[in-house]
Structure 1
Amino acid sequence: MSASGLENFKESAPLSLGVELELQLVSRRDFDLTRGATDLLGSLDYDGRFGEIKLEITESMIEISTQAQLTVDGIAGDLAGLRDTLRQHGERNNIGICGGGTHPFHHWPERRICPGERFNGLYQRYGYLAKQFTVFGQHIHVGCTSADEAIWLTQALGVHVPAFIALSAASPFVDGVDSLYQSARLNAVSAFPLSGQCPPLDDWPDFCRHFEFLQACGIAQGIKDLYWDVRPKPEFGTVEIRVCDTPLAIEQAVSLAAFAQSLARWLLRTRPPLHTERQAHVARYNKFQACRYGLEAEISDPVGLCRQPLRQSLASLLEAISGDARELGCLHWLNPLKNMLAEGAGDAAWLRGRFRQHGNLNDVVREASERLMR
């Protein structure tokens, strides 16, 4: 541990992967969120071979995390094993388990903070925001061989935050109302003071100096206080992408991991210029565009001084990284993303379509829960 309290950066296998999914716990009676996390984990008979299942900030959510894997197929195996474990224990406890970035109609004041010093500390610090933080995301870790590489990749991946948001958007409903967003989840995350993008940094020592500055100002105590869209994770030796909504299906989560791994390989191989100072001026706008409009977003290019359709630039990007995906053995996992781009039918559209079909959000959540578990 350094003087700043930062872990020394742990070298990991290049482009290795880990995936975390925050999942909704819903009642099988009305499919509202239920306070079942402590009971569910207390009854869990699980040997940990596929990864970890643990509490999150409120009693209506849990987090699953895979083992570190060298391949996307390894991630797929872990997530399938974790899903099968949750299906068995969820049925035993009469709890449904669901994907999606927000629960469509829950009321945040009814949420209960999970027991534990860290969760209570977050509640005392952030007040009602901690309960409103009952939103659900997918985090993707990509292994780096050095701390300097991690800082470069953190900023390189930051340019592509809108792509990850649009491909994963699964939170159109908030408080029982269509928000008109594709990903409304990130509005809750943006309320936290250290959310947003990593500032322009040259290397790991520059990051450490920045973090020590935040500490000296009393703003941050540890790396977990940084709610950045993409952040280095020194204790794992990874860069962590944090903007994705939890998908409605495990297979979509795997495809997003394949996109992250292939994109990271392409970036490290081609080393495009980053223009970090200019990107900082448009990052928040581009993030809003992707949250609001998804694949129909118009993304600002601070170098070309123009706006570009995200759908068009994403199609070009998926084509550019296909060779890297082939080398990594995960090209087939990118096909669902290419199909989504061609059809314009992602998870947010699926949820809206089910609402039009059923006329109520209870049945939407019921179907979403069935979809995740099958």
Structure 2
Amino acid sequence: MSAHVPTVGVEEEFLLTEPDSGAPAPKNTLVADTAKRAGIDLQLELTSCQVETSSRVHTDIGALLTELRTSRRRVAECAAEHGTRLLAVAVPPTVPAGYPVTDTPRYQRIAHSFGMIAHEQGLCGCHVHVAVPDRETAVLVSNHVRPRLPILLALTANSAIYRGSETGYASWRSILWRRWPSAGPPPYFASLGDYESIVAMMRASGSILDNKMVYWDVRPSETFPTVEIRVSDVAATVEESALLAALIRGIVVTALEAIAHDIPAPAVSGDVLRAAYWNAARSGLDGAGLDLVAGRVVPHQELLAALVDDISSALDRCGDRGFVTEAVSALAERGNGARRQLAAMHRRHEIADVISEIADATLEGCR
């Protein structure tokens, strides 16, 4: 493995639920306190039924996968101490009328400023960080990542059931998430200055309250020297999270190579990109999407295969080709979270079966 392979880290957001009903359980502070005593640092999310884990940075995807397995198992144990179940699902399968907002000054200010958008949250994603030299490079990389965002969404779609019913979408989270004024695919930026100018205008308008509310699906991290890709639902299984991380690192390494050779990113129209997002959210990995460069409709499975082929040199450089090939094959056979949820629902049309399937997937390979 090359010494110049960028490091990668993963943040996973989880739902805390009542074990039997699957209803969100507002106990994130209790679970986080228990986890802290066990040496686990959990982040609190906007709503009090959510927690977030953050991995260490890794160059080896196998080591990342091992950490993700341990992390999910241990956090699930902490949740169980408070009578709750940890679910890796992107929207609550059963929900109350609203969600209590976590009692911190910043989250309370967001709730006051954005109203029902904040109170109907409970959405769980997966964020992947890849090291880059500087923020200018992160912005240029984001231009290259933009056309790849819909297939990453289709890959991890894990929110087909909401309020006890089928939504008609593989990723309902993606549809709900884009209600935020700063969410979704980012614009094409000419430079870091262009990025910062747009962010400053958003902040001045009140559409974001601070830079952490730049919710675009790829952005320079405000905390780490990384580019952060945040388009995905939280993956159903740890293997899917590791696959996502390997693919994203391959995309970023390929982008860095293009930037080094002055190869511009495809200037994909924002409207066309949003249409591709809708297709990815609607059908997930099992339907058709848009090839944004060629301008044609293609099954998402073919788009995924084309992505792996396009970044194959980067996967080889990172030592990830074998893992990615095996994980993609396994995912195509088993199905992602959305397919598994729908299969469970169609067996008896009982939401309990869906919750059980989600719970099994959450800790699959972690015990």
Superposition TM-score, scaled by structure 1 size? 0.88
DSSP-derived class of the 1:211 partner: helix
Cα distance in 2 for partners of 1:311, 1:83 equals: 28
Tell me by how many angstroms 1:254 deviates.
Answer: 1.0
Could you say which residue in structure 1 is the equivalent of 2:311? Answer: 321
Paired AA for residue 135 in structure 2: A
Could you say which residue in structure 1 is the equivalent of 2:27? Answer: 36
Specify which of 83, 91, 100 is matched with residue 102 of structure 1.
91
Of 339-348 and 178-187, more deviation after overlay is shown by 339-348
Query: Are residue 356 (structure 1) and residue 346 (structure 2) matched?
Result: yes
Question: C-alpha deviations, 1:136-186, integer Å up to 9, x for none?
Answer: 110111111122210111111111011110100011112111111111101
Query: Are residue 347 (structure 1) and residue 337 (structure 2) matched?
Result: yes
Are the aligned partners of 1:351 and 1:364 in contact in 2 as well (CA < 8 Å)?
Answer: yes
**Where do 5+ consecutive residues of structure 2 fail to align?**
none
Question: C-alpha deviations, 1:251-290, integer Å up to 9, x for none?
Answer: 21111111111121122224553232x4323111111111
Specify which of 38, 62, 66 is matched with residue 46 of structure 1.
38
Specify which of 261, 266, 269 is matched with residue 275 of structure 1.
266
Tell me by how many angstroms 1:248 deviates.
Answer: 1.5
Cα distance in 2 for partners of 1:334, 1:304 equals: 24
Could you say which residue in structure 2 is the equivalent of 1:91? Answer: 80
Could you say which residue in structure 2 is the equivalent of 1:5? Answer: none
Tell me by how many angstroms 1:342 deviates.
Answer: 4.5
Aligned pair in 2 of structure 1 residues 85, 338: CA closer, same or farther (>3 Å)? closer
Cα distance in 2 for partners of 1:46, 1:360 equals: 36
Could you say which residue in structure 2 is the equivalent of 1:10? Answer: none
Q: When the two structures are aligned, how many residues end up with a matched partner?
A: 356
Cα distance in 2 for partners of 1:216, 1:35 equals: 33
Of 173-182 and 339-348, more deviation after overlay is shown by 339-348
Cα distance in 2 for partners of 1:224, 1:108 equals: 27
Cα distance in 1 for partners of 2:296, 2:358 equals: 38
Cα distance in 2 for partners of 1:336, 1:352 equals: 24
Tell me by how many angstroms 1:201 deviates.
Answer: 1.4
Are the aligned partners of 1:157 and 1:264 in contact in 2 as well (CA < 8 Å)?
Answer: yes
Could you say which residue in structure 2 is the equivalent of 1:311? Answer: 301
Specify which of 257, 260, 265 is matched with residue 253 of structure 2.
265
Superposition TM-score, scaled by structure 2 size? 0.90
Could you say which residue in structure 1 is the equivalent of 2:355? Answer: 365
Could you say which residue in structure 2 is the equivalent of 1:82? Answer: 71
Of 144-153 and 76-85, more deviation after overlay is shown by 76-85
Are the aligned partners of 2:291 and 2:303 in contact in 1 as well (CA < 8 Å)?
Answer: no
Of 157-166 and 22-31, more deviation after overlay is shown by 22-31
Q: Once the two structures are aligned, what percentage of the paired residues are identical?
A: 23
Paired AA for residue 358 in structure 2: A
Specify which of 150, 168, 172 is matched with residue 156 of structure 2.
168
Cα distance in 1 for partners of 2:77, 2:146 equals: 38
Specify which of 43, 62, 65 is matched with residue 73 of structure 1.
62
Specify which of 328, 340, 344 is matched with residue 338 of structure 1.
328
Are the aligned partners of 1:54 and 1:63 in contact in 2 as well (CA < 8 Å)?
Answer: yes
Are the aligned partners of 1:56 and 1:114 in contact in 2 as well (CA < 8 Å)?
Answer: yes
Paired AA for residue 178 in structure 2: S
Cα distance in 2 for partners of 1:167, 1:284 equals: 17
**Where do 5+ consecutive residues of structure 1 fail to align?**
1-12
Could you say which residue in structure 2 is the equivalent of 1:192? Answer: 180
Query: Are residue 237 (structure 1) and residue 237 (structure 2) matched?
Result: no
DSSP-derived class of the 1:195 partner: coil
Query: Are residue 208 (structure 1) and residue 196 (structure 2) matched?
Result: yes
Cα distance in 2 for partners of 1:213, 1:14 equals: 36
Could you say which residue in structure 2 is the equivalent of 1:6? Answer: none
DSSP-derived class of the 1:105 partner: coil
Cα distance in 2 for partners of 1:270, 1:202 equals: 16
Tell me by how many angstroms 1:309 deviates.
Answer: 3.5
Paired AA for residue 213 in structure 2: D
Are the aligned partners of 2:21 and 2:94 in contact in 1 as well (CA < 8 Å)?
Answer: no
Tell me by how many angstroms 1:328 deviates.
Answer: 1.0
Paired AA for residue 64 in structure 2: I
Cα distance in 2 for partners of 1:125, 1:336 equals: 46
Paired AA for residue 156 in structure 2: S
DSSP-derived class of the 1:153 partner: helix
Query: Are residue 121 (structure 1) and residue 112 (structure 2) matched?
Result: no
Specify which of 11, 16, 19 is matched with residue 25 of structure 1.
16
Cα distance in 2 for partners of 1:310, 1:329 equals: 25
Are the aligned partners of 1:315 and 1:341 in contact in 2 as well (CA < 8 Å)?
Answer: no
